[in-house]
Structure 1
């Protein structure tokens, strides 16, 4: 049902690109979706009005290049240990370091960070916040839950 609501929101907002995490695999089985290697993140050009191309794909991460922006969709399961969490952030950091455009990172890192609107910072939040500082990103969508958007 949530994917149906997203579809309606896309129409209402006239969105060009849709990035979803923790996706319904049946929903994205339709053509047009680009999916990461784990099936956790999907990106679709919903308008057909923009030019984009896939630049990087790994488990829990997709990066697509638009005219002036690199958009990264990311997901890290709460079941990943701290080493896997750090490895995934290292991959994202490498993609960002090689970007020659503005970067926006959207996703669910299953972490808590005061910088992202949480009441406290947990171990994952500290690692995420440190990485974001290293690549000069800041949180633009502060949320009480685990989803954060960084640019």
Structure 2
């Protein structure tokens, strides 16, 4: 899962990387709209999340598509992805939906997304409001963050 920030170059590069790495599924938040117009991509109704079955080895089925959210599933796994492009109220609503799905799931669930949140639980130096909401939900559904603390964004040098 990567945030391409609408960049055609980033989108293309990550697409090539997952093919080289023999990944099964590619999920991009803020995808390049021209590249996801190609066949094979499933895109949410806002154009903020895109998923492609890269390998064809696993039968993934679209289970949910809405503004800022997509979910696909196989026989054993449900993968949900959340876009960061929303205000705090919509963010909370989307996490409530995810929590409901997880609570009723009968298979493994993977929650992916660019949550635009800071949380000590995700190895940030501080916790912001989105981070508090996300951490609370993670605790309620016994979810574990796999972020290793590596920054996912670096500001460009403005000098």
TM-score, length of structure 2 as denominator length = 0.85
C-alpha contact 1:112 1:146 (8 A) present in aligned 2: no
C-alpha contact 2:15 2:26 (8 A) present in aligned 1: no
Deviation at 1:145, TM superposition (A): 4.2
3-state SS in 1 of match to 2:146: strand
**Among residues 23, 33, 44, which one is paired with 2:41 in the alignment?**
33
TM-score, length of structure 1 as denominator length = 0.89
Superposed CA RMSD in Å reads: 1.6
**Among residues 103, 119, 124, which one is paired with 2:109 in the alignment?**
103
Point out where structure 1 has 5 or more consecutive residues left out of the alignment.
none
Point out where structure 2 has 5 or more consecutive residues left out of the alignment.
1-8, 154-159
Q: What are the Cα deviations for residues 81-118 of structure 1, in whole angstroms up to 9, with x where unaligned?
A: 32122112112222222221111111101110011111
C-alpha contact 1:115 1:142 (8 A) present in aligned 2: no
Q: How does 1:1-151 map to 2 (within 5 A)?
A: 1-77=9-85, 80-145=86-151
Change (3 A) 1:36 1:143: farther
**2:79, 2:138 → 1: CA distance?**
15
Q: Give the paired residue count.
A: 145
Please state which structure has a larger fraction of its residues in strand: 1
3-state SS in 2 of match to 1:70: strand
